[in-house]
Structure 1
Amino acid sequence: MKKAVEATQRAFNTIRTGRANASLLDRVTVEYYGAPTPLKSLASISTPDASTLTIQPFDPNTLGLIEKAISTSDVGLTPNNDGTVVRLNIPPLTKERRQEFVKMAGKYAEEGRVSVRNIRRDAIDSVRKQEKSGDLSEDESRDLQDQIQKITDKYTAKVDELLEAKEKDIMTV
């Protein structure tokens, strides 16, 4: 369940908030020597100010490939190549765009909650099988199921807290 919450946090990190953040480019992969390679492996990404990302490739020959990968990705930013680095200017978000990002964050949060509930279902099924086979008494089974539900509630609450923080971050102008 902890991993499901962490995966939700990583998904939230890929949503733009109007400020430059290197994690916006986490999902970008570059076709490098015929293999999809994460952008982080090919370049250093820095944020010189709140509205700019700079990407300094380790190999200058990959500059065009990086620019192309960013253009075709779902990041929604246009790269500017000055011959040595790629710059991404992050425009301020409109109210409508912010609301779209809040909806996207809500979708990611729901996926996280569903994955936590799937883990709960698997754990409860396992306890019920042990009860059926006689390894656990009915009372022990019920106690374990209650504990599993409490843990599930705790982790879904964590996902909700992450969502609330991300929504606040997105809507802050």
Structure 2
Amino acid sequence: MGIIIDINDFLHYGNVKYDLSHVDIMLFERCQNAILATSHVIKGEPIVTNIRCELFTANPDCTGTVTVLITHVPNQIHWKCPLCGSEGIIKNWKNSPQYIQFLKNNKQKSKHAKAITLSSDEFEKLVDLSDSMDECKAMITSAQKTGTTYIISVNDINVLQILEKLIFKIELKTSDRSFFIKLRDELKTAVI
């Protein structure tokens, strides 16, 4: 699968570890820059970007640009350079201190609606989970389909209450548990 980097390996309770080697610090900084460069990309769809491969690999010889796929569940950035063939994953990108600071700054600049982005499969599982809840139909019909993803706005109090019920239901769900745990965590971050 190529280069796999977990942002949490560089952190201790959300702060950068004090005992990182110089090489690890350089890798962490490159990852943070890559995260900030890709954070505007539509989640759930592979997008050809103008981001140079060099940012991800530190290979100055490659002049290619990467294709990026960002997923919320699991919390990963998948990237690939078609020119040199380099590829990899940045796991737990949302935990990056620079990304968190970027979000805080954006939130202060503009108060915009929160939203959850789900792939088609994730959306179908959420629909199946909420079938027995009549109030979920309004939330599901309000979801906006963009390409292969669904965006659910959590701006409304009713949607927040429905999401809280779904979180509780997910906590009780036993089949496909790992998926539902990841989905629950994503929903919790949207609700908070």
TM-score (norm 1): 0.25
More helix by share: 1
Greater relative contact order structure (CA < 8 Å, 6+ sep): 1
Greater gyration radius: 1
TM-score (norm 2): 0.23
